[in-house]
Structure 1
Amino acid sequence: MMKDIKSLKKELPGIAEKLKKYREVLLANLVMVGEIPAPTFQESRRVEFILNRFDEAGLTDSSIDDAGNGIGVLAGSDSKSALLLNAHADTIFSEKTDHTMQVSSDSITGPGVADNAIGLAAMITLPYILEDLKIKLKNDLILLAGVKSLGRGNLEGMRFFLENNPFKINKAICIEGIQLGRLSYSSIGMLRGEITCRVPETYDWSRFGDSSAILTLNEVINKINDMRLPRRPRTSIVMGSIEGGSSFNTIARDATLRFEVRSESQEVVERAGETINDITLEVSSKTGDQVELDIFAKRIPGGIPYSHPLTRCARVVMESLDIEPRLAPSISELSALIDKKIPALTLGVTVGERTFKTNETIQIEPIYKGLAHLIGTILAIDGGYCE
């Protein structure tokens, strides 16, 4: 039976207002962490900075594990179990990208500010806030700056941590920068890969304009687009990125498509993957070009139900803060937690736009509600309201 959460609900609107006094320290953490480049597989400098902030907050058990994850432990008064708080440390932007954060009175703009500098800043600042508000948790709070999460990282950092940590984790929260009100409690099936077309080295270049890797890839794309996908279970193929060639007047020797298959059904995902593989073999045989399929990430559907006490707690906290829930499945770190049968949620911190662009922008004012939702959910879990 779920404990009555009414007493906690009354306190939460007041917490949101109190959080405004932490604006300077929160934004300072955001700017400092956001201006350290951290492309996937190259997060070490950012993680080292986060560990320094953990040390300054008095988290004596902070460490970096063998995968490169940054770990901080805020010890509880009981320590019989632990709540995991995760924010991925990597971004899609390269070391060469200018990571300067532009701060105005009401917003912050910069590459990766929404995904996931603000999520990291919220996690880094949390121990300071809890101490200042004199909030003492019963359970241990494990803070994880996870590496190798995005793209080809395939949640490697989180998976390593879950396999090798010594903590008694019974629930988890994943922090994403946007959007405020995000509530993910389940994962969908997913298959992520690349299709690369290459014109053979032996190609006769005197045959004017007769072949191009881009034309070959276009044929692959047309065939994928013609695939029949079911409406139920809901299924989609996202063709997210194409690149190829080098100039206006040179035939492209290679071209690459990056794509994802997503479905509520794992069987549908697998069948779609098999069909795409058949397409690449067919086009390669027909054109004589090399067409290679590389599948490097998969997810399995799962999660907790909408009626689960953890999900209900998060919704009650949202209601008390006048936050509109945005329900959507996730294919990020939540998936790894689901695989380990750990009840978990993904929550958003603020409102943002232009995600994945160098002028990615977040709004400052909604952050306080997002932090209050995070703290309220932590208190609900720690107080036994989510059992």
Structure 2
Amino acid sequence: MDCRSDDSIKNYVNDNMEEAIILLETLGKIPAPSNHEEKRAEFCKEWFVNQGAEKVYIDDALNVICEIGCEEHEDIVVFMAHTDVVFPDKQELQMKREGNILYAPGIGDDTANLINLMMGTKYFLKNKVATKKGILIVANSGEEGMGNLKGCKEIFKNYGSRIKEFYSFDCYLGQCITEPVGSCRYKVTVKAQGGHSYADFGNENAIFTMSSLIQELYKIQVPKEAKTTYNVGCIEGGTTINSIAQECSILYEYRSSSDKCLKTMENNFYKIINDFKEKGKMIEIEVLGVRPGMGQIDEEAFERWTNNNVSIIKKYFNGDVKLGTASTDANIPLSMGVMANTIGTIDGDDAHKREEWVDLNSIPMGLSIVLELMLQYAGRV
């Protein structure tokens, strides 16, 4: 039977449904906070080896990389799903199952999508599928929060211009991300003279200065070319109620799908900071992370490529496929002009909550989508 046929995909999905669920329940308990994905990385590497992978390794960024046909072909297609979750837990993640609903932190974002990628890879390995291009399977690190897409950045650092097309499996069924939301994140620290709240009354208070700074940041008029946002998400400082604060820090970010808008926000941010410095305020800036927006891309070719992917999704998913914007691993290739989609392969909800859930009955649909997307590159040239 042709390994690319509908019957071959259907039979494989049906025959391996239980294995996929067991794999999800096993991997979903392994903690993997961003920048500390070691346990999941080791598990995934061993799993790929057990499926017959001949070249699989963990790189410096804690990506698990499985190469298929990359030595025979110069051009590479990347298929990626991330191992990290938003929660800091270092101990086993709590999980419960009620019928076909599986609950666990990070179970849909992104563990279930990763399972579909892993099971799709098993199909290639067991059937020794020949490929038209090199296939790079990546269980990547650092997609969430302060991971700042470090895993995906490392892939492009190491494979560079060889990468011609890119798929990230993330989000939920019916979602296809075609436009990246870029962001810049900072830690801003104000330092001041401080002192005793009574004896040194009148000395500069870092908290007061920071509150003035925040007010100025919130007066910024966002550009209108694309949706652009900003946020102060955390503030800390001071020591006691009877001390004039010597130090205060905030975490601040701005986001946009437009690189031009991001640049405008950057200019506004630094103008405010410099204005405060010119008034004698002591301010320190630490860049915590940068996620790029859309770069220069062949729009017609990208539209055709995306439409083909959407047609594959619709073959198995009966609902509407929504093209949208989001901050995902696809930010990196899209910023470099490489065609990339982030595609959801699981039904669920409550991402970034400890009560996150997935519907196990949606695994066959998602796995079928993954397999057919991958099998586009099967065969010899």
Q: State the TM bucket, normalised to the shorter chain.
A: 0.7 to 0.9
Q: Which residue of 2 aligns with 1:57?
A: 51
Q: How does 1:253-272 map to 2 (within 5 A)?
A: 255-272=248-265
Q: Which residue of 2 aligns with 1:4?
A: none
Q: How does 1:41-80 map to 2 (within 5 A)?
A: 41-75=35-69, 79=73
Q: CA deviation at 1:346?
A: 0.9
Note if 1:30 corresponds to 2:31: no
Q: CA deviation at 1:300?
A: 3.5
Q: How does 1:259-338 map to 2 (within 5 A)?
A: 259-282=252-275, 290-295=282-287, 296-302=289-295, 303=297, 305=299, 308-321=303-316, 322-338=318-334
Q: Which residue of 1 aligns with 2:168?
A: 174
Q: Which residue of 2 aligns with 1:194?
A: 187
Q: CA deviation at 1:250?
A: 7.0
User: What is the letter of the counterpart of residue 308 of structure 2?
Assistant: C
Aligned match of 1:235 in 227, 249, 252? 227
Counterparts in 2 of 1:248 and 1:209: CA distance versus 1, 3 Å: farther
User: TM-score scaled to structure 2, two decimals?
Assistant: 0.82
Q: Which residue of 2 aligns with 1:126?
A: 120
Q: Specify the SS of the correspondent of 1:274.
A: helix
Note if 1:90 corresponds to 2:89: no
Q: Which residue of 2 aligns with 1:39?
A: 33
User: What is the letter of the counterpart of residue 314 of structure 2?
Assistant: E
Native 8 Å contact 1:242 1:255 kept in 2: no
Instruction: Report Cα offsets for 1:238-295 as digits up to 9, x if no partner.
Output: 4262242589957776554334322343232112122122333445676x76543333
Counterparts in 2 of 1:95 and 1:135: CA distance versus 1, 3 Å: same
For 2:160 and 2:182, how far apart are their aligned partners in 1?
29
Greater shift in the superposed pair: 312-321 or 54-63: 312-321
5+ residue gaps, structure 2, are none
Native 8 Å contact 2:226 2:261 kept in 1: no
Counterparts in 2 of 1:136 and 1:298: CA distance versus 1, 3 Å: closer
Instruction: Report Cα offsets for 1:284-313 as digits up to 9, x if no partner.
Output: 676x76543333314132356376332011
For 1:64 and 1:184, how far apart are their aligned partners in 2?
27
User: What is the letter of the counterpart of residue 191 of structure 1?
Assistant: C
Counterparts in 2 of 1:272 and 1:65: CA distance versus 1, 3 Å: same
Q: Percent identity?
A: 20
Instruction: Report Cα offsets for 1:96-154 as digits up to 9, x if no partner.
Output: 4651222222222222222221222222222334567x583423422112223333433
Q: CA deviation at 1:211?
A: 7.6
Q: Which residue of 1 aligns with 2:196?
A: 204
Q: CA deviation at 1:15?
A: 4.4
Note if 1:365 corresponds to 2:355: no
Instruction: Report Cα offsets for 1:212-253 as digits up to 9, x if no partner.
Output: 65554443333222211233x123224262242589957776
Note if 1:354 corresponds to 2:346: no
Instruction: Report Cα offsets for 1:3-27 as digits up to 9, x if no partner.
Output: xxxxx8x939x94686244332222
User: TM-score scaled to structure 1, two decimals?
Assistant: 0.81
For 1:360 and 1:376, how far apart are their aligned partners in 2?
27
Counterparts in 2 of 1:326 and 1:248: CA distance versus 1, 3 Å: farther
For 1:208 and 1:99, how far apart are their aligned partners in 2?
49
Q: Specify the SS of the correspondent of 1:85.
A: strand
Q: CA deviation at 1:172?
A: 1.7
